[in-house]
Amino acid sequence: MLTLERFEEASKIVKEVTLETKLVYSDFLSEQTKNKVYLKPENMQFTGAYKVRGAYYKISTLSEEEREKGLITASAGNHAQGVAYAAKCYGVKATIVMPTTTPLIKVNRTKGYGAEVILYGDVYDESCQKAYELAEEHGYTFIHPFDDLAVATGQGTIAMEIFKELPLVEYILVPIGGGGLATGISVLAKLLNPKIKVIGVEPAGANCMEESIKAGKVTTLPGVSTIADGTAVKTPGEQIFPYIRENLDGIITVEDDELVVAFLDMVENHKMVVENSGLLTVAALRHLKVENKRVAAILSGGNMDVITMSSVVQQGLIFRDRIFTVSVLLPDKPGELCKVADTIAKEQGNVIKLEHNQFVSTNRNAAVELRITMEAFGTDHKGQILKALEQKGYQPKTVRTSL
């Protein structure tokens, strides 16, 4: 299945349902990493992710009989939408089993394409087991989200497009959940240029592929914990694992905090909404120990609900010292609050919340606590405000920010 001819065939077929996602050169990330960074914005696909490629190509390879039985799959969201949309295009029934933790936007969009959605299990692996049971019970045709060579071939068409736009690309960064995308990308990339480096990126809290490669066999994690829900997989694919071992040049793991900051960078510098799993490659750029290389980073999806988005933005501002909280002790006398506020205002800090605690001491005349949450331009500006408060005789202490 994973031959150049198959990839060429898949590239023609997926064009029927995909939008053209041209590479975006990132001045910001290029300057930050001292490389020439190009983003492959699969978050801009009609279904909000690359997954429609593999789903549509897989269905194109099925017989009429297999399609008429109805399709079923399990997914944390993006493959669900891909299968639902592809099934709608082919006019066949689709049933999707999704984890109960799936963001609402992904559930509703999947239903919007006409699929029946069943919420089951806390993680993908539990949903997948349920989908297999339903396939056995009702005779549905199962479309695996990653452990399928036809699906991987469809996903690999992204590499074909990268090479057409950037023939001299030297590194490709690809997110890994179960490994289907990484399989297709790495195999086709090596067929087109054996010298290219393809690096997989996993969340540190769901690094099933890294552990499997270390063990030399498919390994199941005892549990997963990550905000990158689209890559929260405990067990990578059995069929695709040999291809990963042969063609992937390394794996980078990324902490959740790095994804939070990466989201802020993408919104502010590229005006793009990219979901946490899609941001893995952006966060990994800072771990890539090379310079002056042409690097393509795949943004795998952009399906993020507004509540999650709001939380990530707030946390990103806190991590970047754009919002912080300081505690100061001051006498409980008229005018003291004005003095503190004036000091902050002169340093161009913007107060967004005040908490006044009169019971921090039994002697209120000696001290009450004032907690000030404020906006700043960043770490240097935060330090400037704290220094100004110290010079006015206060002893400011930074405390955990709670918005």
Question: Would you name the residues annotated as active-site residues?
Answer: 51, 300
69's tokens = 């039985």
C-alpha 89/C-alpha 80 separation (Å) is 14
Residue of 248, 207, 236 lying closest to 224 (CA atoms): 207
Question: What are the start-end ranges of the H helices in 200-254?
Answer: 208-215, 241-247
Quick one: tokens of 89? 């295009």
What is the full DSSP assignment across 190-208? HHH-TT-EEEEEEEGGG-H
Helix (H) or strand (E) holding 326: strand 323-330
Backbone angles phi, psi at 322, to 5 degrees: -85, -20
Centre a 10 Å sphere on the Cβ of residue 3 and count the other Cβ atoms it contains.
12
> What's the CA gap between 19 and 237, in Å, rounded?
28
Task: Return the number of other C-beta atoms located less than 10 Å from residue 168's C-beta.
Answer: 9
Give the DSSP letter string of 29-73.
HHHHHTSEEEEEEGGGSTTSBTTHHHHHHHHHTS-HHHHHT-EEE
Rounded distance between C-alpha atoms, residue 144 and residue 132, angstroms = 10
Give bridge partners of residue 198 from the DSSP assignment: 172
Q: How many whole angstroms separate alpha carbon 273 and alpha carbon 275?
A: 7
CB 160 within 8 A of CB 188: yes
Phi/psi for 117 (5° steps) reads -110, 130
CA angle 362, 363, 367 (to 5 degrees): 110
Residue 91 structure tokens: 């006019």
Closest CA to 123 of 234, 29, 251: 234
- Can you say whether the dihedral through the CA atoms of 27, 318, 106, 230 is positive or negative? positive
Please answer whether residues 84 and 115 qualify as being in contact, where contact means their C-beta atoms are separated by less than 8 angstroms. yes
> What is the rounded CA–CA span in Å between residue 42 and residue 57?
17
